A and B are shown apart, each in its own frame.
Chain A
């Protein structure tokens, strides 16, 4: 007898093999991922499965086998159209009758496509990198009180009443309280039927039925009582009420905010924006892996600074001169208002071509040195510029006093990922207040 089993829900079992494959080719995967990190489309970095192609010769499985190209052989083939015994067929000529057959597994496969999930991809992309100045251990982490659900209770505010649980309890109570009475009622009704039949029978024989009728009245009275009792079991009772309970938990909170500042004055062209965007995105993805919650704030500026949406941030192109200090001042304002330093790890990333109104550099220095005390890190990326700008020089001076000030430069998109790796692969030991 055949048995039929539905296995569809038992899922895939290839993960162990997949994990071993990735372990084996980790180096190759890493190369491929880094290549994508350098030149791949920016949007695709953060989402979706990624097909990574690695050379398959690392994965070749050797065995003793004959070389099909060498030696003499006899072979039978199907589909003869015009050959006769003794015909000679020039080798390498059109027919293609040999060689295709019997190519053993393992030949001709020169590349293997491996599909990486977003997590696997980012693991490889950020492999070996660490965030400097990350608060570690319980001491440094931010404690936050949070309300959290914790079961159900019988008492609470009406607003938190849990209807489904309450109805379930009510139903259980009703069933329990009515069950014995229902049973008794059924028994009585059966007895009554019996009695009625008796009475009918006796009447037919013209016997006296007064005792039976007495009995019947008695039963009817009992039935009435039971029915009343059953009806009296309330549909819902105070004891049924259930409330969702919430409780306060203190837990270490790891959250960060990333403030992106970009110059959108006329001098920032597509190339400059692309470079900046790559850097911001990498930083964002990286922070996201370090913190449970990462907030992101965009500030664009030319001579005035303005908080904006992501779309505006990358699309904006406005004319005018450039002043950096208003952007920093705005950042400071936002931090003060929204991201108190004891709850948030604040990172600031600025991208600019370095053009700044000369007299502004002094103001920048002043604001920045105030700002730096409240930041985990301040990344300044100077894009597409041959020489070092005055702004960069000003920041570099600051970096001597504030180790969280990090300056770097990029000329083309391929530079961004390597410089990113460089920034985060060196262990930086910083003290902070």
Chain B
């Protein structure tokens, strides 16, 4: 096969995009063996990119002031030149939608197509966590259902009313995720049918739970009346949606919409390092292959290097640019190292990794991409070499002490500790405080009692305002206590 240069100057055009997409697809599918959703590449302007930012990258979203706020902050920063925009944005849907910025040069468009349309896309389709927790088929439909439902509510009940419900729902959205149970698939039409059915059913149910007629005989008056809920439940949003005593059904539906959308977004937060790392690995491979097969020029390759190194740059902890661990840098380093461990293992690798020296590095990469999420991925694959390259070290903070203690550095004694500590840190950072619904005083004042199970102190001001919002949803008093009653906050009905 004779390869021709895909482009020699740097302006993009639709035919060039098409040609580049073909070339990338060929490498991705034939050489890397990636299985992807069909792609839909959409060219957008900077303004539209800012819009997409404000709605967490979703192409269709209901309206809320907080997105306007996000937009004001970001467009302000962008216009003042404090923030560059991402070159692309990709949506976990089928077809997989990638947004390409019109400002990108042709080289950048090639990079972006390789990164998003093949890297991320393959990740969305194959990673077990995405497969189990999200529904790429139904999401676009569901989002338009949500948008029109909420618009209809605004029409009917007024924007302030709807906004109040959304404010409260957003406040506990992170506490509205089923972590142990897989959600049902989404479909806009079924959703609408189920919604109507639910409305009818719920009204019967609720009147059962909240029956106010006195029990026929005092013997039935339940001392032994079981706790309600029987087990503490961690999904606040779900519990309130199903059990709030006097909530109109449209408000329950809004809670459900917020819950469903957050559930859909949940895996993205759990796989940030892997997802970006894998996409970087894919674009790195594809761009090099395009160059080796003489489809892009040396100049393009150099331009690609400039962007690539900027993306996977990890500033040191004492660098003014430091703002936590860069998921692109860490993810890319680990995936590259998996390849190295297969291709050129050292004595150390043999000790650490059972797959060291596997001749089929592609199989190992794809396995890693499919079967893990960030914390387990780190635990499994963070190699001594990557720890050394990044000079990782672990720090312990005891609030009683005057100083931090270095607990591990990149040496033989520290590798495993750093690995575990980092995995732990990643798992925790993606988890909200562990707050459960402990009980509801069903026969008394209908007070809702929340309990915090973990011991890390809460930001009190925020917790208090959040309780206030929960109170508005619930309609009666809400109480939050620490697991060992270290503290107690209340929001009372006025």
What distance in Å separates the Cβ of A405 from its nearest Cβ neighbour in chain B? 43
Select the stretch in B58-66, B196-204, B264-272, B285-293 that faces chain A. Answer: B58-66
A63 touches B466 (CB 8 A): yes
B51 within 8 A of A: yes
Total chain A interface residues with beta-carbon distance under 8 A: 67
Q: Looking at A14, A67, A95, which has the most chain B CB atoms within 10 Å of its CB?
A: A14
Instruction: Assess A81 versus B391: contact at CB under 8 Å? Given A2-B38, A74-B424.
Output: yes
B21 touches A79 (CB 8 A): no
B397 touches A75 (CB 8 A): yes
B40 touches A76 (CB 8 A): no
A63 touches B462 (CB 8 A): yes
A3 touches B421 (CB 8 A): no
Residues from chain A with Cβ under 8 Å of B209 in the complex = none
Residues from chain B with Cβ under 8 Å of A80 in the complex = 317, 391-393, 409-410
A4 touches B17 (CB 8 A): yes
B170 within 8 A of A: yes
B25 within 8 A of A: yes
Complex alpha-carbon distance, A265 and B429, angstroms: 72
What distance in Å separates the Cβ of A74 from its nearest Cβ neighbour in chain B? 5
B68 touches A20 (CB 8 A): yes
Residues from chain B with Cβ under 8 Å of A113 in the complex = 72-73, 76
Q: Looking at A19, A71, A78, A87, which has the most chain B CB atoms within 10 Å of its CB?
A: A78
Complex alpha-carbon distance, A97 and B392, angstroms: 13
Instruction: Assess A63 versus B397: contact at CB under 8 Å? Given A17-B64, A78-B314, A115-B76.
Output: no
Instruction: Assess A76 versus B325: contact at CB under 8 Å? Given A12-B51, A90-B403, A113-B76.
Output: yes
Residues from chain B with Cβ under 8 Å of A401 in the complex = none
A64 touches B466 (CB 8 A): yes
Instruction: Assess A90 versus B393: contact at CB under 8 Å? Given A14-B50, A85-B413.
Output: no
Contact with B along A97-120 (1 / 0, CB 8 A): 110111000100100111100000
Instruction: Assess A62 versus B469: contact at CB under 8 Å? Given A7-B48, A14-B51, A87-B405.
Output: yes
Residues from chain A with Cβ under 8 Å of B55 in the complex = 17
B65 touches A2 (CB 8 A): no
Contact with B along A50-80 (1 / 0, CB 8 A): 0100001001111111110011111111111
Complex alpha-carbon distance, A17 and B40, angstroms: 26
Residues from chain A with Cβ under 8 Å of B76 in the complex = 51, 113, 115
Complex alpha-carbon distance, A59 and B403, angstroms: 36
B348 within 8 A of A: no
CB-CB contacts below 8 Å: A1-18 with B = 1-8, 10-14, 16-18
Residues from chain B with Cβ under 8 Å of A101 in the complex = 322-324
B319 within 8 A of A: yes
Besides the known contacts A7-B43, A72-B397, A91-B401, 11 further A-B residue pairs in the complex with CB atoms under 8 A apart: A17-B54, A17-B68, A23-B159, A63-B174, A64-B458, A71-B457, A75-B395, A76-B418, A78-B316, A91-B402, A113-B76
The 7 A-B residue pairs with the shortest CB-CB distance, nearest first, are A79-B316, A21-B68, A17-B68, A16-B63, A62-B465, A2-B39, A77-B317
A residues neighboring B (CB under 8 Å): 1-8, 10-14, 16-24, 51, 56, 59-67, 70-81, 83-91, 95-98, 100-102, 106, 109, 112-115
30 inter-chain pairs at a CB distance below 8 angstroms, sorted by A residue, are A1-B38, A3-B41, A4-B21, A6-B43, A14-B51, A17-B54, A17-B71, A20-B65, A20-B159, A23-B160, A61-B171, A63-B172, A63-B174, A64-B172, A66-B457, A73-B396, A74-B394, A75-B421, A75-B425, A76-B425, A78-B315, A80-B317, A81-B316, A85-B407, A85-B409, A88-B403, A97-B317, A97-B404, A112-B69, A112-B72
